[in-house]
């Protein structure tokens, strides 16, 4: 098709932004989710690690997909960073569980 050659810098910037949101951003959200879930799930601090980590591996592809479906690249980036910040806030507010 060769259409990619005719696609301009706008298209490339769009894809690049979504790719960053969908890769590094997705990992960031998954990591913050793991921390937030580990601290808030109603389980002891060891047991909670298991579902928190398992679910984090499902959160990551979900975020990647969303980053490419979001209405615009900046919305994707903002949405991803916003969710990471929100989850980090939850983890911070919950605090480290006592031994």
Partner 1 sequence: MSAVRDGARQVMAWLHGWTGLLLGWVLFVMCLAGTLSVFKPEIGRWMRPETIATADRATALTAATGWLSKNAPNSFGWYLTLPNDRMNTVEATYDPGTGFVYRALDPVSGAPVPRETLGGEFFYRLHFELQMPFPWGRLLASLAAAILLLGLITGIIAHRRIFKDFFTFRPAKGQRSWLDGHNALGVLALPFHLMISFTGLLTLATLTMPWAISANYGKDMAAMFQAFQPGHVDRPAAGRPGSLAPLAPMLREAERRLGRPVGRVTVEHPGDAAAVVTMFRDDARQIAYAAGAVSFDGITGRVLADYTEARPALQTYGVAYGLHLARFAPLATRWLYFLCGAMLTLAVASGMVLWVVKRRERGPLSRGNRIVERLNAGVLAGVPIGCVAFLLANRLVPLGLPARAETEVSIALWSAGAAVLLGTLLPPRHAWAVLLGTLALECAAAGLPGGAFADGVQAGVSGALLVAAGASGWLAWRQWRRPAPTPRRRTRAQLA
The site for partner 1 (CB under 8 A) is made up of 1-2, 4-5, 11, 14-15, 18, 30-32, 34-39, 43, 45-54, 56-58, 60-61, 64-65, 68-69, 73, 91, 96-97, 99
Least distance in Å: CB of 51 to partner 1?
7
Least distance in Å: CB of 1 to partner 1?
5
Rounded-to-integer distance, Cα 9 and Cα 24, Å: 22
Least distance in Å: CB of 82 to partner 1?
18
* CA-CA-CA-CA dihedral for 45, 49, 50, 51, to nearest 10: 100
C-alpha of 90 from chain center: 14
The smaller minimum CB distance to partner 1, of residues 24 and 82, is found at 24
Rounded-to-integer distance, Cα 47 and Cα 79, Å: 30
Least distance in Å: CB of 29 to partner 1?
11
Tokens of 31: 């990591």
Rounded-to-integer distance, Cα 19 and Cα 73, Å: 9
The smaller minimum CB distance to partner 1, of residues 43 and 86, is found at 43
């Amino acid at each position: 098709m060769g259409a990619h050659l005719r696609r301009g810098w706008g298209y490339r910037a769009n894809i690049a932004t979504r790719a960053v949101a969908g890769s590094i951003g997705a990992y960031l959200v998954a990591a913050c989710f793991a921390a937030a879930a580990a601290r808030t799930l109603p389980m002891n601090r060891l047991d909670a690690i298991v579902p928190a980590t398992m679910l984090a591996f499902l959160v990551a592809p979900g975020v990647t997909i969303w980053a490419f479906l979001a209405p615009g690249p900046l919305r994707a980036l903002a949405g991803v960073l916003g969710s990471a910040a929100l989850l980090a806030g939850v983890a911070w507010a919950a605090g480290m569980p006592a031994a």
